[in-house]
Amino acid sequence: MEFLTNIFYLLRVKPNQESICEQNLKNQSAKFYLPRFMTGKRKGSPIFSGYVFVKVKDRDSFQAIRSTKGITDYVRFNTTFATATDNTIKDIQRTIESLEAKFDKLNKYQTGQEVLVKSGPFKDFNAVFESYDKNESVFILLNFLRFKQSIKLNIDHLD
């Protein structure tokens, strides 16, 4: 078996033991990646539930990682181990970061919350947030000439 330092091996984690696996791999100073979707500042659920990516240094660490509490075994297809390159891991990380930023942006306001329009034709108007719309748009209630008007704006127009 050839060990490559630029690849991660995919391992199967025992059901609902991602946190246990994560802590035990940290205790071994193993380099691993357990992709999670973070919501706000809270540590979210694993994206690939039941799996973790681990870099193997040598033959000894290969067996030690396999025996880590919380891990079932390496994922294989017949005799071929499932692996991912450093670039693949970086691509997964970038995708997750992008989705988290979009999620945070689309969950910034709550229905009924007072907002200030910071740009566009209604700049400096106070309004009440109504709801989100597709394509990063929002609906707000704006007091205009003593009437409440529902207006659709790009989310970037709100402060």
- Reduce the secondary structure of 9-52 to three states and give it as a string: EEEEECCCCHHHHHHHHHHCCCCEECCECCECCECCCECCCCEE
98 & 120 share domain: no
pLDDT tens, residue by residue, 74-89 = 999 999 999 999 999 9
Q: Please state the domain count of the chain.
A: 2
Those residues whose C-beta lies under 8 Å from the C-beta of residue 99, and which sit 6 or more positions away, are: 37
Q: Are 42 and 114 in contact (CB under 8 A)?
A: no
Cα 71 from Cα 15, distance rounded (Å): 9
pLDDT of residue 135: 72
45 & 123 share domain: no
pLDDT tens, residue by residue, 90-146 = 999 999 888 887 777 777 788 888 888 888 888 888 888 888 887 778 888 887 777
DSSP one-letter code for 5: T
Domain that holds residue 151: 114-157
90 & 123 share domain: no
In a domain, 1, yes or no: no
pLDDT tier, 2 (very low <50, low <70, confident <90, very high otherwise): low
120 & 95 share domain: no
146 & 98 share domain: no
In percent, the amount of the chain with pLDDT more than 90 equals 34
Lowest mean pLDDT, pick from 38-47, 57-66, 130-139, 146-155: 38-47
More confident residue, 110 or 17: 17
Q: What pTM does this model have? A: 0.67
96 & 45 share domain: yes
In a domain, 85, yes or no: yes
